[in-house]
C-alpha cells in the first residue's frame, strides 16, 4: 500500500496520475519529471544560498569556477525551458 502523501490516499493518487497522463501523454511524463527534479534542485540550492547570505555576501566569496558552473547550469535550464516551450521532444 502506498504511504499517504499530504493526506492523499492511493485512490486519489491514481486519479491524479490518470489525469496527468490524459493531459500530457505518457511520453511527456518522464520529461516533466526531469524538469521538475531540476527545478527542485535549483530551488533547494537557491534557498541554501539565501541561508548562507546571512553569514556573508555570497557573490563576493564565489570563485570563478563556481560562477562558471552556475552560468552553465543556467544556460542548460534556459535551453530546456525553451525546448519545452516549443514542444520539442528531443
Residue at 1 is within a domain = no
Domain containing 41 equals 28-86
Q: Is residue 41 part of a domain?
A: yes
pTM of the predicted structure, to 2 decimals: 0.39
How many folded domains does the chain comprise?
Answer: 1
Q: How many CB atoms lie within 10 A of CB 38?
A: 15
Average per-residue pLDDT in the chain?
Answer: 79
pLDDT band at 22 (very low <50, low <70, confident <90, very high): confident
71, part of any domain: yes
Mean pLDDT of 4-19: 81
Question: 50 lies in a domain?
Answer: yes
Residues 6+ apart with CB under 8 A from 83: 90
SS3 category, 5: strand
Comparing 87 with 77, which gets the higher pLDDT?
77
Amino acid at each position: 500500500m502506498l504511504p499517504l502523501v499530504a493526506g492523499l490516499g492511493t485512490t486519489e493518487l491514481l486519479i491524479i496520475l490518470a489525469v496527468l497522463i490524459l493531459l500530457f501523454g505518457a511520453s511527456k511524463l518522464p520529461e516533466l519529471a526531469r524538469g521538475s527534479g531540476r527545478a527542485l534542485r535549483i530551488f533547494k540550492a537557491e534557498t541554501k544560498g539565501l541561508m548562507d547570505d546571512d553569514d556573508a555576501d555570497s557573490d563576493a566569496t564565489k570563485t570563478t569556477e563556481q560562477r562558471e558552473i552556475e552560468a552553465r547550469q543556467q544556460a542548460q535550464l534556459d535551453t530546456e525551458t525553451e525546448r519545452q516551450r516549443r514542444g520539442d521532444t528531443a
